[in-house]
Amino acid sequence: MITCLKNGRLYDPAQQKNGVLEDIYIAQGRIVAKPSDPSKVTKTFDLSGKIVMAGAIDMHSHIGGGKINIARMMLPEFQESKQYSEPEAHICTPNCSHHATPNTTDTGFRYIEMGYTAAFEPALMPINARQAHLEMADTPMIDKGGYAMLGNDDYFLRMLASKKDQKSINDYVAWILHSTQSIGIKVVNPGGINAFKFNQRKLDLDENNRHYQISPREILKSLSRAVHELGIAKPLHVHCNNLGAAGNFETTLNTMNASDGLPMHLTHIQFHSYGTEGDKKFSSAAAQISEALNKNKHITADVGQILFGQTVTASGDSMMQQLNAKHANPKKSVLMDIECDAGCGVLPFKYRDQNYVNALQWAIGLELFLSVEDPWRIFLTTDHPNGAPFTSYPHLIRLLMDKSFRNEAFAKLNLDAQAMSNLTSLNREYSLYEIAIMTRAGAAKLIGLNDRGHLGVGAGADITVYTDQADREAMFAKPDYVFKDGELVVKDGKVVKVVWGTTHTTKPAFDIRVEKDLKDYFNRYHTMQLDSVKIHADEISSDGRGSINVHQNKQVSH
């Protein structure tokens, strides 16, 4: 039983294949070498004139867990446009609000229909991990995974404050990865969510959390070192301090130095690239940020592009969301302090092209995309749903690949914002090869998914086939075929078979004695026992749909 995808044009950056005409063979869910006996090929797809890429990987998308469910509960009105029929139906676009808070089935379907075969929840709160996995288990079609949030939990901050050695910290971080079934570690507003519980309203990189007398820089240093020494492929995922604040680009620049040269990933960097120039004291610092990104090879980033329309912002950053609550549109917000672990802030937001700040945010994101030189170190995200729903990716890809389309959109923006952006002077147009790096090869490499994001022999057969079209939005919105683990699951942009995907995790070795102190801590200070925190693999796999895929750590030389 071998399937042949014949005569496709391959964009496979992991193997430096840039538009090469080549056949692909699939057997038992994997890409295999050309069979010596051609009669073993039982099915052939003629892909003449088609573009072939690996399935796309969204390395940062809020698809599961408490925050998004709060957003759904808070915004039933978002679902209404989903049910429109003509004459209203045409107003429903990929940027429509119901895509901001899709239910779990729609999440999986909309991703696979665009040729995405995996998405990673970037803010899985350890204490809430079971909910995140339950939701991801109900998300069909795609592979899933999560980055566990640390750095605001009182357990970790107590360790830092009492100067516990790095090995103890590493053991705790590894224990968190195991017990939450995650593949990476995330830190949100390092120390800030915790400081907000002590009524601090703002925390700079070198400012101390009042209670612990610990700065965000120390947290970043400790966690990035733990991630590095444990040999986890995914660098520490960092949501910097001061999200959204005018002038925050300096915090972002300084954060790049906080890990002493160890790898870090700065997420939704658009929200952290703001200056204070101009009459409105809000300006683009994309030039400074991209220059620093170009220079600092140990840093990767995803953009968190905003696109205009109604969405909702769902963040672990309760400190900054408390400040943003006055901008909520419609005017409502849910803010939570959670379990001495972290927090969250959920508020609806409407980005408008005639609003100076919003228009400039849009331009800043694109300036970053076009000014960062290495596509292996910058990733295509909207921080779904915070900047825009993930369904708007095809539109974003067109903005990157089509200069005249981009400039036409720019010309419609708030005029003051236009005057403050150099976007039209940036002539770059992304190539298909570069898009494949950003959305496939680069993302897989970053997370450590060795058998995904490429089309080489041995890879999982997650494959997307497009018709080459001048309108890149139309092209990326509706693939001809999507194969998930070798099975044809989408045809002409519609799901033809439901599958469930796997959950990607990593499980570095650690000293199990870490549980002794944790157990005592939970008994004293928590409201559940340590055993209840741990997610067992069979909780994910026992329903007959889910499975766990444990990825090897990279080799590290100390």
Partner 1 sequence: MAELHLMKSSNKPTLPITHCCPACGLLCDDLVLTSTSPLNIKNACTKSISFYNSAWLTNSNTPRIAGKASDFNTAIQAAADILRASNQPLFAGLGTEVQGMRAIVALAKKTHATLDHMHSESTVANTLTIQHSGWQTTTLTEVKNRADVILAIGTDIVSSHPRFFEKLVWNEHSLFDKPRPEIIYLAVPKHLSADNLKAGISPAGKAPTVIAADTAKLPEIISALNALMNNKKITENQVAGITIEALQSILDTLKAAQYAVIIWSASNFQYAHAELTVQSITHLIAKLNENTRVAGLPLNAGDGDTSVNNTSTWLSGYPTRSRFFADQASYDAHHFSSNQQLNKCDALLWVSSFNTQQPTCDAPTIVIGHPNMQFDIVPAVFIPVGIPGVDHTGSMFRMDSSVVMPLKQLRENQLPSLSEVVLQIEALLT
Residues that bind partner 1 (CB under 8 A): 64, 66, 68-70, 72-76, 78-79, 82-83, 98, 101-106, 125, 127-128, 130-131, 134-135, 138, 154, 158, 196-199, 211, 322, 325, 328, 331-341, 346-347, 524-529, 531-532, 539
Q: What tokens appear for 86 in the block?
A: 């003509």
CB of 152 to partner 1, least distance (A): 12
Shorter beta-carbon distance to partner 1: residue 12 or 154: 154
- Give the list of residues 6+ apart from residue 73 with CB closer than 8 angstroms, or none: none
Shorter beta-carbon distance to partner 1: residue 35 or 330: 330
- Give the list of residues 6+ apart from residue 415 with CB closer than 8 angstroms, or none: none
Residue/partner pairs of 254-257 with CB below 8 Å, 24 or more apart:
254/205, 254/206, 254/217, 255/205, 255/216, 255/220, 256/292, 256/293, 256/296, 256/299
Q: Are 149 and 199 in contact (CB under 8 A)?
A: no
CB of 536 to partner 1, least distance (A): 8
CB of 226 to partner 1, least distance (A): 22
- Give the list of residues 6+ apart from residue 40 with CB closer than 8 angstroms, or none: 1, 2
Shorter beta-carbon distance to partner 1: residue 69 or 242: 69
Shorter beta-carbon distance to partner 1: residue 223 or 346: 346
Shorter beta-carbon distance to partner 1: residue 529 or 547: 529
Shorter beta-carbon distance to partner 1: residue 198 or 474: 198
SS3 at position 222? helix
CB of 526 to partner 1, least distance (A): 5
CB of 337 to partner 1, least distance (A): 5
The DSSP code for 376 is G
* Whole-number Å distance between alpha carbons of 121 and 109: 16
Burial 155-188 (b: 16+ CB within 10 A, else e): bbbebbeeebeeebbbbbbbbbbbbbbbbbbbbb
Shorter beta-carbon distance to partner 1: residue 95 or 361: 95
| DSSP output for 349-367 | EEE-TTSHHHHHHHHHHHH
CB of 232 to partner 1, least distance (A): 25
SS3 at position 41? strand
Shorter beta-carbon distance to partner 1: residue 337 or 451: 337
Shorter beta-carbon distance to partner 1: residue 119 or 236: 119
Handedness of CA 423, 426, 432, 437 (dihedral sign): negative
Give which of 149, 19, 130, 110 is closest to 64, Cα–Cα. 130
Angle between helices 166-180 and 216-230 (to 10 degrees): 70
Q: Are 265 and 236 in contact (CB under 8 A)?
A: yes
CB of 432 to partner 1, least distance (A): 35
Q: Rounded to whole angstroms, what are the CA distances from 399 to 51, 362, 407, 416, 473?
A: 19, 11, 9, 21, 9
What type of residue is 68? I
Shorter beta-carbon distance to partner 1: residue 127 or 438: 127
CB of 109 to partner 1, least distance (A): 12
CB of 94 to partner 1, least distance (A): 17
Shorter beta-carbon distance to partner 1: residue 496 or 509: 496
Q: Which residue has the tokens 């993302």?
A: 443
Shorter beta-carbon distance to partner 1: residue 136 or 446: 136
CB of 268 to partner 1, least distance (A): 22
CB of 108 to partner 1, least distance (A): 12
Q: Where are the beta strands (DSSP E) in 411-544?
A: 463-467, 481-484, 487-491, 494-495, 503-506
CB of 144 to partner 1, least distance (A): 13
